[in-house]
Chain A
Amino acid sequence: MKLLTLNFVTCARKSCKTLPAAFPLHPRDAELEIVEMELNPKFLVNILPRVEWQALRTVCQELGLPTLPDIMPVQQDLLQPPSLPGRESESQEGEAEGEGGSEEEDALQKPSQTAQDLHRVLLETTIANGKLVCGACGHEYAVKEGIANFLLPSHMV
């Protein structure tokens, strides 16, 4: 499970969903893995406002990852202004087939260091095995081979 996904989930119990303590879920005995992935600047820009920054910082701290800045970067921080008028061809954007849209304008903007760091944390750092613990009820959700299981036993439904 990627840290972005972890940032999107709370405890699945109905009685917990509204409680502040049920989010974020706290990783325990987590085995981390870096799975490299192509950087997708458009996606990062789109998704950034949906990330709960403080929760992400907490989780990174609990996992012993480098500390994130106090304040969430804004979308403009993700794209560097074009460095030189001579445009470099950014191959990763062009390859996607069957997609209309404004590829040209993206190719002019290279992802910034901030974008690369965020990409590493949110999309390449994954919990391969371990547990996710709800801070409100203490229930543990198992993560096995990267797949988290949010099914509940009948007495918690």
Chain B
Amino acid sequence: MEYLVRFAQVHTGFHAAELESLASLNGIELEILKYSANSPFCIVWLASEESARRLISRSILASGIYEVWGSGNDYATLHEDVLSRTSQIRPKYRKSSFRFTVDGYQGKRSQASQRALIESFSYLGFDGPIRMHNVELNICLFEEYQAHAPEPERVFLGRWLAESSRAAVTKYDLKKRHYISTTSMDAEVALVTANMVQAQPGKLVYDPFVGTGSLLIACAHFGAVTIGSDIDGRCIRGKAERHIVSNYQQYQLLHRYLDGFISDLTHCPLRQTRLLDGIVCDPPYGVREGLKVLGTKDGSGKEEVIIDGVPAHLRPNFIPPKKPYSFEAMLDDVLEFAASSLVESGRLCMWMPSANEDEVELEIPTHPALEIVAVCVQPFNKWSRRLLTYRRLPDADIRDETPRAKKEQAVGAHADELNRFRKKYFEGFKTTSKDI
């Protein structure tokens, strides 16, 4: 059967990937028949109405799903299609209470014009009462216009089936969250990330750069138990009544918070075995949040320091030295960690920036044990970032047995030398004069 997915026309780079992830999560066979990033209406094939409801129930980017009753490039073809497609279905709803609405994209109609349109479907022959709420039959007419065009370019008629989880976007709005920071992930994108990593009841999801917990909160919303760590203990501890735990409390999700601990990914204490069902992370890009690991810039400090007879590192309030680190090396470390700690088919969702100018030679980090499931782009004004989704392959499917050459740690000690993205960011993404 054909179904229409009504997307919100935002984060278009994630639409198809989210649907596919939810299909795989639910074990649903999905075929995307018609989709374009320029349109919020996506036509898919699904085996049953039940699959359609399940597919959409967790979606963040879709608002709902509809059974297709007809489609066309103008009203003449639409009516023709509706007549032929619904000849079997129509009689079932003859006496049902119903509602008929018009949903236009890039075009609006007056009340009178909407009414005339709806009247033109009177041949459907519904005699039941018209209601706005609790209806048995909810029909929607979709119109898609090119900008400023007088007539729609495509029209669809559909029967509403189920609502998505889009309401969660408002519930988790950062503006209403008690504890956030400059790098907290926006609720909508965080929830989509949770769908990509397939967070679900019973699973364990880890964030090695947890910050204020925005990605984990989204995973906990979908039922996963979550654990996070950060090199900066201040985010985990928070201050007074505002910390990660208070965020979980705010949403009554505390029972899905396992722990938070302070550690550096390059020296992560987690046992090196397959412990995790999912990993989500938004590693520091080195702009708003410094990109550092344990160690000293000049390699000094190899001797233990004793103060008043006590080793300095055992004194209260000891702060271990940290050094700047290269972003590329960090991404590699994340992949290496994911390959060794994800269960079979466990997923890694990692955000990474890529300056628009670099688009051509964009390097997506790879690992022989990790299959790339999706690469989704979120453009900003002068730069963009990508959400990379990987799946841990079963050991038997790993083809490349050669040990990986570890990315060479870039030479230099300064943040700018180690991190091209940071450098570009602070240069304002200027193109060099010879490019013009």
Cα(A43)–Cα(B223), bound, Å: 10
Cα(A151)–Cα(B319), bound, Å: 9
Partner of A155, one of B227, B229, B258, B304: B304
> Residues of B contacting A9 with CB < 8 Å?
261, 269-271
Partner of A99, one of B223, B258, B270: B223
Cα(A151)–Cα(B229), bound, Å: 11
On whether the beta carbons of A157 and B261 are closer than 8 Å, the reply is no
Partner of B295, one of A11, A45, A154: A154
Q: Which of A58-66, A81-89, A140-148 contacts B (4 or more CB under 8 A)?
A: A140-148
Cα(A148)–Cα(B227), bound, Å: 13
- Check: A69 CB closer than 8 A to any chain B CB: no
Residue count of chain A within 8 Å CB distance of chain B:
44
Cα(A8)–Cα(B341), bound, Å: 11
- Check: B369 CB closer than 8 A to any chain A CB: no
On whether the beta carbons of B271 and A149 are closer than 8 Å, the reply is no
- Check: B279 CB closer than 8 A to any chain A CB: no
Cα(A23)–Cα(B271), bound, Å: 9
- Check: B17 CB closer than 8 A to any chain A CB: no
Question: C-beta contact mask, A23-64 vs B, less than 8 Å → 1, else 0?
Answer: 100000000000001101011011100101000000000000
Interface positions, chain B 192-228, Cβ under 8 Å from A, are 200-204, 221-223, 225, 227
**Closest chain B CB from A59 CB (angstroms):** 14
Cα(A156)–Cα(B296), bound, Å: 11
On whether the beta carbons of A101 and B271 are closer than 8 Å, the reply is no
Q: Specify the chain B residue showing the minimal Cβ separation from A2.
A: B259
Question: C-beta contact mask, A1-13 vs B, less than 8 Å → 1, else 0?
Answer: 1101100111111
On whether the beta carbons of B255 and A147 are closer than 8 Å, the reply is no
Chain B interface category by residue count? 35 or more
> Residues of A contacting B302 with CB < 8 Å?
154-155
On whether the beta carbons of A150 and B58 are closer than 8 Å, the reply is no
Cα(A99)–Cα(B57), bound, Å: 8
Partner of A153, one of B58, B254, B318: B318
Cα(A2)–Cα(B300), bound, Å: 36
> Residues of B contacting A11 with CB < 8 Å?
269
Cα(A23)–Cα(B231), bound, Å: 22
**Closest chain A CB from B348 CB (angstroms):** 18
**Closest chain A CB from B140 CB (angstroms):** 22
Partner of A149, one of B54, B233, B303: B233
Partner of B301, one of A1, A45, A147, A155: A155
On whether the beta carbons of A10 and B269 are closer than 8 Å, the reply is yes
- Check: B262 CB closer than 8 A to any chain A CB: yes
Q: Known contacts A43-B204, A46-B204, A151-B264; decide if A98 and B168 are in contact (CB<8 Å).
A: yes
On whether the beta carbons of B201 and A153 are closer than 8 Å, the reply is no
- Check: A152 CB closer than 8 A to any chain B CB: yes
A17-B272, A99-B223, A154-B296 known, 9 other contacts, Cβ within 8 Å: A2-B259, A40-B256, A50-B275, A99-B201, A100-B54, A147-B236, A150-B262, A150-B267, A154-B295
> Can you list 8 A-B pairs with a CB-CB distance of less than 8 A?
A4-B258, A8-B270, A12-B269, A96-B223, A100-B26, A152-B267, A152-B320, A155-B304
